[in-house]
Each structure stands twice: as C-alpha cells, then as structure tokens.
Amino acid sequence: MAEQISTPTPILYQNPTKTLTLLDIPTSIAHAQGTVDHPCNDQICASPPLQTPYPSTEPKTEKAKANVLRTKTPSDTDVGFPDALLQQALREVAEHWPLEEDWCLPRKITSLVSERQSRKRKADDAIDQVFSTQKRDSVHASTAVLPASKIETEIGLDPSPSRTEPDFKFPDSEISVRSIEEPLILSSESTPKAYTCSDIRIFTNRLVRNPYPTLLSLQCSGVKYKTPPNANFLLSKIGEPTAHAFSMAALTLYPKSSATAGPGQFDFVLLDPPWENRSVRRSARYDTMHDSDPMVVLQAMLGQHIAPGALVGCWITNKASVRDTALDAFQTWDVQLIEEWAWLKTTVGGLPITQIDGLWRKPYEVLLLGRKGSDEAQSSDSDVRRRVVVAVPDLHSRKPHLKTLIEPFIPASYRALEVFARNLTAEWWSWGDEVLKYNWDGHWYTHKGSTQIYD
C-alpha cells in the first residue's frame, strides 16, 4: 500500500474565542478539496510569499492628504475596518507565533513561472494567461449553452481531441430545461477515477455532480480537472437566464427538506462578486461588474434558496457604494448583518502589506456575514462582532478558503453554495463562469505515494 501522507491544517494559530486566526491560504484551498474520510493530500501551487511590504503610494504631507480627501466623491469613500483591531491582531499573532517562523507554510511555487520571479504579479499574469487561453479554446461559459441531449453526437460535436474551437455558439437565452432537470452525473463504468468528454460544452450551463465520496478526474479535450468528493457545480455566467436555471437545478438536487433547510435551500451561502476597482481595471485579469450587476439578479432570486437561520457571507471592497449594495441584498433576503471578518494581508514576517490606515490601498478585505431571520441584528455598527483572519497573500484575487473557519457556525449536515466561485469544494455547490479555474490539474502538485484516488 502507498504511504499515507499527513494533511496539514490550514489554521496555524487561533485564539480561544476564534476572533483571530492565522491561516495558510494554499492549504485552506487544498484542505477544502477533501473530506475527513478522503482528505486531499496534494498541494495547490502558489505564488512566492511576499517578503516585504509594497512601496508606499500614500501622500507624504498633511496637505497632500487633505487634497486627496477633498477629491474623493461619496461613492469612492472608504468604509474601513477598525485600525485598532487590526493592530491588536498583529501583536497577538506575534506573541504566540515563533519569532523565527514564517507566517505561512512552505509553498510549492507554480511551475508556470520561474521560482526566481519573486514578484507576485508576474506569477499571477502567467497563471491567468494560461487559463484564459484554455477558456478561449474551449468556449467561454458565458456564450456556450448545452443543448438537451447528454450524448455528444446528438449535438454535432467532433469527438476528436484535436478539435478545441467549435464552429457554433448558443446564446444564453437558449438554456435547455431538460439539461437542468437531468443533471450530468460524472459516473464511470469501471472505477470512480475519471470521467472523460471531448468538449467543455458537455457540462456548460448544466448541473454537474461527482456522486463519489472520493476525488474524481474530469478529463476534457486532454485537460484534467480535479473534482472533489460529492462536489456539484454549475459552470455558467450569472445572469437572468442562468439564475432561473440555477433555481431549477437546486430544486432538482434537493427536492425535499433536510433537518435545517427546505427544498432547494442552503445553510451557508458565500458570494465573492467581481467588484470593479482601480487595480483590477488596470490589470484586466478578470471581468468585473458594476456595483449592481449581476447582484440585481441575485438580489431578486437568491433569497428563496437561503434556508431560515442560514449564514450568508459576502466579500466586499472598501468602497461605501459596494458595501451598500451588499447590505441592500441582505435586506431583501431577510438577512441581518451579525459579523464582519477582515482578511489582513501580511508579509512572511508579519508586516501588513500596505499601511493599515492608508488612503489609497488598504491591506485587508472585508467579509460581511449575516444570518437569515436572525434576532441577532445589531442596533449599531459598533455592536457587530468582528474577527480577523491573518494570511500571507497568494495569487491575485485568490482568497482564503472559509470552509474550515465557517463549519463551527453551521449545522453538522449542511448544504453550502459558493457564488462566483473560482474553485470547487468537497460536498459544496459552486456556481460561476470560472468554477474550474483552480481545479485545473496544472495548478496542483501531486505528492508521490498519495493514497487518494486521482490519476
């Protein structure tokens, strides 16, 4: 038998009240790919950890600072996390973490760039370029729609692996009802190791399920994706046509109530909208949305899929208008804000990557966390409970995976949904047009001797 490999925990330090956690981001993503019975022993490749803070772009004088504040419009106003809590978090981790230890675990640097390229942005660009090429060659999810039949020949696909660019596309409005009502089950006639298809459209705009309690390899036109145990995903653009398709898919998979959720409902919903901001506009790494698009669609339909008492998390930027948009959606869904979490980004030595009270760039991102129908609603902003997750950044826009952190606050047998997901999660639903991005096999380092099922 192959040697069993120990799976490290992503939590490096956590205080007794769980209000402060030092987390390793790559390990949190890898950990979420497995279960207790079938852990994921592979490592997701990462960018080199940041050694020093970014050069300061802050105004150097009080006069310059005043000029910046005068030019900011109300919509550009930042809503910050309390600086004192962030400073206290850094001090507490420093007190409990060995002085000589890095604030992250050793990383497998992506093979797509040289390990000598220590600048994080170079690694990000190389990764995104490779994945963008794959998406272009296999038809972007926002323009490809799967017809009704499961059989490739019925939709005129050439099974030849060399054919990667189809000669036809379907508009979003032609999503097939039958393709949603009949989920694609990634079953294998021999052993639950791999499912092979010739074109990504086989599972585009369709509920796809790994029915096995083990990892399964999804092979498409010679490209492999890791499908975690009992994972479900809907690879589609998020808009009005696909929102209706999602609702149908949720009711198809969950036609009956659980102990805590009704038909088609979830106990935990996590959103990571691609909010528009200056740095993303400059880099053009991924498509962004305006403050209300497609949140307007989700605001109108997602509430019916949130179970009574469910937790809802939404990552936001520090813009006041973005926060208002997220809280408006919470109100529509009858979700009351109960907590705010800050992901505080540091170097390997524990320094914030930028000035904590900076005007141009904050060294943290905020997660709003609410509960549906809760009587925990706070009377004022100061009453909202706050937690800090300290973590050394990884690839651009890749956030800490929250599965390990959120599970103590939700039912033991829960249903979870991640919207705008960029990777799959064991036993969760993932929905978005990049759900397979970080499950592409090229992002992963497989340990020799691993006993997990994956080829």
Higher pLDDT, 280 or 63: 63
Closest CA to 220 of 276, 287, 144, 272: 144
pLDDT per position as a tens digit, 97-126: 998 899 999 999 976 544 334 444 444 444
Encoding tokens for residue 80?
């910050």
Handedness of CA 442, 444, 450, 451 (dihedral sign): negative
* Residue ranges of E strands in 194-325: 194-197, 207-209, 216-220, 223-227, 232-235, 266-271, 306-316
The CA distance from 378 to 338, in Å, is: 7
The CA distance from 9 to 390, in Å, is: 15
pLDDT per position as a tens digit, 254-313: 999 999 999 999 999 999 999 976 444 444 444 555 444 789 999 999 999 999 999 999
Encoding tokens for residue 398?
């890749």
pLDDT at 391 over 50: yes
pLDDT per position as a tens digit, 130-145: 444 444 443 333 322 2
Contact 33, 27 (CB under 8 A): no
What is the bridge-based pairing of β-strands 429-432 and 184-185? unpaired
Phi and psi of 393, rounded to 5°?
-60, 155
pLDDT at residue 2, as a whole number: 42
Give the Å distances, CA to CA, from 88 to 84, 85, 120, 144.
6, 5, 27, 49
pLDDT at residue 148, as a whole number: 28
Place of tokens 């979420």: 32
Task: Give the other-Cβ count within 10 Å of 177's Cβ.
Answer: 11
Contact 249, 179 (CB under 8 A): no
Higher pLDDT, 398 or 199: 398
The CA distance from 203 to 224, in Å, is: 14
Closest CA to 312 of 320, 303, 321: 303
Question: Over the chain, what is the mean pLDDT?
Answer: 79
Residue 242 banded pLDDT, cuts 50, 70, 90? confident
What is the bridge-based pairing of β-strands 266-271 and 306-316? parallel
pLDDT at residue 338, as a whole number: 97
Single pTM value for the model: 0.82
Name the DSSP letter for residue 17. Answer: T
Which residues have a Cβ under 8 Å from the Cβ of 142 and sit 6 or more positions away? 172, 236, 237, 433
**For residues 412-425, average pLDDT:** 97
